[in-house]
Amino acid sequence: MPGHYSLRPLPLAVAIALAIGWSNVASAQQPDIPVVENAVESKPKKSRKKTPKPPKASGDLSTIKEVLGQSPATTAIDPPGNLAPDQTLFGETLAQTSANSRDQQTPDQGMPFEPLRDKPLEHLASSKNAQELAKSLVKDPAPPQQPQQPQQPQQPQQPQQPQQPQQPQQPQQPQQPQQPQQPQQPQQPQQPQEPGPSHPPAQPISPAALSNTAISALHGASPPAASLALEQLAAGSNANLAKATLSSAAPVSASMLSAMHQLDNRKGDGAGRVWLQALGHGGKVDRDFDSALKHATEGLILGADWRFDEQWHFGLIGAKSQTRLDARQFDGDLDSWHLGAYALRQDGPFALRLGASYGRHDGSGKRHVAFSGFSDRLQSKYNANTQQLFAEVGYNLGRGNLSIEPFASVGYQRYQRDGYSETGGDAALKVEGQTRANPSSTVGLRLAKTSHLANGMQLTPRLSASVKHTYGELDSTTRQQLLRGGKSFEVTGAQMDRNRTLLDAGLDLTLSARHTLGVGVTGEAGSDSRSYGVMGQWRLAF
């Protein structure tokens, strides 16, 4: 009995050896058959037979799997460290597990705010002037490299002799097809994420600009503060100085025209008069809040004219005016002197009026820049001059004490300002000179009626309405740059109005043959500007 028991391991060992040999032969003959992954194993049927006892732990792990009838590639008892990336683990591959875990990751909801240095400055600018400043701070792109000289082509090589074809191998016996696996359930596709806002890459700021403390503060500011800083540093109100100065000088020409309208046609050589006029004039340039410039002018005009012959009168004027300029974080003053001459030719109902004036303006300004801990107070002084010419023709259609005069005129105005530099800190600007000139034409109608009072005085109400058309370039631009760092950039102010409507109303009281008092109001309206004025006049005839 004991002898019979000792022979039992022999058949078992032989069977194990045969199984191992057969599996090695099969794997060697089928190297290209891929291992099918994610096979869905059918649930084994219950059996009343006893499960054979596993071999001892000291045996080979592959041998144990063969004995148990399990494939080494699909068994669930393999430790994770012995599995390849695409081996099956509990019905799912490791590659799929890692991919699913990556797909299920959610983006970080607590991302920090995008820093300013990663955003283009131009996208933070709220106006064209601020954009021009932002462009001037960007580092110049590197010049393109010179193209390399093309290399000489190599000599073609001699073709090689073709090799003898090899004998074809005998085809292998076809293998038995495997049973198809059950298809897996498709996974639900994930919802696509919304793409974030796309911005062009931020251009680096030039090193020269970063050496400026104002630009350094701008570079480290938050986006809202940087937008405000660009507006302050651009100083767009400088481009409106030309229009404000021309508007403050306009009452001088209007006063000369008013004096010629009131000239009487007294006969006799040597007849003349002296007149004095006080005026107040104000207005606003540009409707934009950030670059709007208000101006208010007060002045005094002294004039004298005399009769040259039966048709001609000639006159001279001198004027002094003071203009106050006010814009966002900018205050300025204009101290102006004016000289002018005028002439009138009266032939019955026909009138020809000519005039010219020159103005000298000494300007000064103060500007305050403050943002993100940076503060700077700047001052400037500059010189400018204006020239105005006009010619008007009118024809009186009235009779007796009623005057109805349609008129037409042509004019020319020119503005010239010298360049200047602000004094202060790193926000100071160097502003280049500016020159502009525009011709114009005006058509309108003038009404007046003289009434005689009981005490011998005369009362004359008057009204004038006209439309003015301006020719030439309307844009008001000037170039400037930071004194320290940056490049020159252009700022644009309010355009000159192509068409404007003018109204003038007044009342003259003739006290005697020598003394006359007059008051009047004026108004002018365009698409981008408004102005108004009041005046009082005293005339003494001799």
**Residue 250's domain spans which residues?**
227-541
- Whose tokens are 């016996």? That residue is 173
Selection from 142, 117, 118, 121 nearest residue 132 by Cα: 121
DSSP code of residue 205: B
Distance (Å, whole) CA 78 – CA 75: 6
Distance (Å, whole) CA 306 – CA 275: 12
Q: How close are the terminal C-alpha atoms of the chain, in Å?
A: 167
In a domain, 446, yes or no: yes
Q: What are the tokens at 98?
A: 């890692």
Q: Specify the pLDDT at position 155.
A: 76
Pairing status of strand 529-541 against strand 515-525: antiparallel
Distance (Å, whole) CA 275 – CA 262: 11
- Give 71-126 as a DSSP string: -TTT-S-S-GGG--TTSEETTEEHHHHHHHHHHTPPPPTTPPPPPGGGS-GGGG-S
The answer to whether the CB of 531 falls within 8 A of the CB of 279 is: no
Selection from 261, 540, 504, 516 nearest residue 403 by Cα: 261
Q: What are the tokens at 127?
A: 């106006």
The answer to whether the CB of 334 falls within 8 A of the CB of 245 is: yes
Distance (Å, whole) CA 227 – CA 126: 7
Pairing status of strand 458-470 against strand 434-449: antiparallel
Give the amino acid at 219. Answer: H
Compute φ and ψ for 332, nearest 5 degrees.
-150, 165
DSSP code of residue 238: G
Distance (Å, whole) CA 178 – CA 532: 100
Q: What are the tokens at 193?
A: 């994420």
Q: What are the tokens at 409?
A: 């005129």
Q: What are the tokens at 242?
A: 């030309």
Compute φ and ψ for 97, nearest 5 degrees.
-65, -45
In a domain, 358, yes or no: yes
Which residues, in sequence order, are bridge partners of residue 459?
451, 509
383 burial type by CB count under 10 A (0-12 exposed, 13-18 middle, 19+ buried): middle
Distance (Å, whole) CA 338 – CA 357: 7
Distance (Å, whole) CA 5 – CA 439: 130
Q: Specify the pLDDT at position 186.
A: 66
Q: What is the pTM of this model?
A: 0.65
The answer to whether the CB of 132 falls within 8 A of the CB of 491 is: yes
Compute φ and ψ for 535, nearest 5 degrees.
-150, 150
What angle (nearest 5°) sits at the alpha carbon of residue 528, between those of residues 323 and 413? Answer: 60
The answer to whether the CB of 380 falls within 8 A of the CB of 367 is: yes
Q: Specify the pLDDT at position 264.
A: 57
In a domain, 306, yes or no: yes
Number of domains in the chain: 1
In a domain, 334, yes or no: yes
Q: 524-533 burial string, b = 16+ CB within 10 Å, else e?
A: bebebbbbeb
The residues, any chain, with a CB within 8 Å of residue 312's CB and separated by 6 or more, are 343, 344, 345
Q: Specify the pLDDT at position 471.
A: 95
In a domain, 240, yes or no: yes
Q: Specify the pLDDT at position 288.
A: 60
Selection from 454, 457, 450, 462 nearest residue 514 by Cα: 457
Distance (Å, whole) CA 439 – CA 124: 39
Phi/psi zone of residue 417: left (φ > 0), alpha (ψ -120 to 50 degrees), beta? beta
The answer to whether the CB of 230 falls within 8 A of the CB of 121 is: yes
The answer to whether the CB of 279 falls within 8 A of the CB of 532 is: no
Question: Which helix (H) or strand (E) covers residue 21, if one does?
Answer: helix 9-29
The answer to whether the CB of 75 falls within 8 A of the CB of 35 is: no
Give the amino acid at 496. Answer: M
In a domain, 193, yes or no: no
In a domain, 1, yes or no: no
pLDDT in tens, 346-382: 998 999 999 999 999 999 999 999 988 889 999 999 9
Which residues, in sequence order, are bridge partners of residue 305?
273, 315
Q: What are the tokens at 353?
A: 């009026």
Give the amino acid at 139. Answer: K
Query: Strands (DSSP E) along 88-207, which ranges?
Result: 88-89, 92-93
Which residues, in sequence order, are bridge partners of residue 364?
333, 381
The residues, any chain, with a CB within 8 Å of residue 98's CB and separated by 6 or more, are none
**Which CATH number covers residue 388?**
2.40.128.130
In a domain, 203, yes or no: no
Which residues, in sequence order, are bridge partners of residue 512?
none
Ranges of residues in the chain with a pLDDT under 50 are: 1-7, 31-47, 49, 51, 54-115, 199, 202, 265-269
Q: Specify the pLDDT at position 12.
A: 67
